Structure 1
Amino acid sequence: MSTDIRRSRSESDYATVIAPRDVRLQRLLLGPIERIWTYLTESELRRQWLASGDMQAEAGTMFTLTWRNDELTDPPGTRPDGFSGGAQSMDSTMVEYDPPHRLAFTWGDGGVAFDLESKGDQVLLTVTHRGISDRTNMLMIGAGWHQHLDTLVAHTNGTRPLPFWDGWTQLRAEYDEVIPA
């Protein structure tokens, strides 16, 4: 991965450790807020940057997220060792569904919340991931959210995202320096 990509990142793009097992990331996206909400809630739009899966607009309902990270960018980049190709799925439960401001659901033993706030013609997206089991997973999750959000920014800006796996691999190494031991 070229150093130009690293230089294009801002310190504010990185996940911030907000508690021993929790991280937060933020991105400014082109609005309006209702448009960004659809990228969080509509399966086909969410599939472009994260994972597919139909969601019910009601707390307590279950749904399945399915990742196809090899299909997020063309080319996908070089998949790191330890990651299998094809689809990976996870069952989740909707915790909060408050359009177009907050979406929260379970993620393994933890949870993820997406908060949207209008900022003029832009939207501040805050992603908070809670209950991360250990530092190794925090590095992987920090790099993962970072790369997924960079892919979302590209899609919402109408630009071509960088190869997903190459970005993730570089970010994983960078997070090893950023996340405290």
Structure 2
Amino acid sequence: MTDTMTLDSYGRLIEPATLKIQRLLPGPIERIWDYLTESDLRRQWLAAGVMGRQPGTSVEFVWRNDELTDPPGQRPADMSEEHRMTCTIIACDAPRRLVITWGEKQTGEVAFELERMGDKVLLTIIHRRVPNHDVLLNVSSGWHAHLDILVARLAGTQPAPHWDHWTGLRAEYERRLPA
């Protein structure tokens, strides 16, 4: 693999309630790790929130998706301007692996794995225990759209309007991942 075009940018189910999505990013691995763990960098593509590194440490993610791109696109009526979620660090092996609970009830789990591939870094996100099909469509399109913003930020290019992109991706995931 030599560039992002060699990977299918769409997430796929690897188990009935487990989504896997990958991106090949420009390194070094420490840079990508910082974009996962440092609030000021993470808020540029996903969500803000100071993150500890010890298992058992809580982190509150704060999504302000309207601020991710300019313009932000048309936010769906059922989405709020801000969303907060408290997660807990399960495992942290810098700069290779970070695993967190997904939400306060810890009903899900997200693993971020980084692998050096020459001067690039393969980022793999595995989101486990997605509770239902509607949530699966939201997290699939969400991870995809947020990763596309990360790719643009790392490349120094302008990402597509977030909400418009997310809405199109959700429709595509509905086609790709039927109930």
What pairs with 1:19-98 in structure 2 (closer than 5 Å)? 19-85=15-81, 87-98=82-93
Displaced runs of 4 or more, over 3 A: none
Question: Once the 2 structures are TM-superposed, how far is the Cα of residue 84 of structure 1 from its aligned partner?
Answer: 1.6
Equivalent of residue 160 in structure 2, options 155, 159, 162:
162
Superposed CA RMSD: 1.2
Unaligned runs of 5+ in 2: none
Q: What SS does the aligned partner of 1:60 have?
A: coil
Q: What SS does the aligned partner of 1:23 have?
A: strand
Alignment CA distance shift 1:48-1:94 (3 Å): same
Question: Once the 2 structures are TM-superposed, how far is the Cα of residue 81 of structure 1 from its aligned partner?
Answer: 1.9
Residue in 2 that maps onto 1:128: 126
Q: Which amino acid aligns with 2:90?
A: V
TM (normalized to structure 2)?
0.93
Unaligned runs of 5+ in 1: 1-8
The percent identity for this pair of structures is 53
TM (normalized to structure 1)?
0.92
Alignment CA distance shift 1:114-1:161 (3 Å): same
Residue in 1 that maps onto 2:13: 17
Q: Which amino acid aligns with 1:140?
A: N
Superimposed CA distance per residue, residues 82-136 of structure 1 (whole angstroms, 9 cap, x where no aligned partner): 0122x21001100011100001100031010100000011000000001111111
Residue in 1 that maps onto 2:136: 138
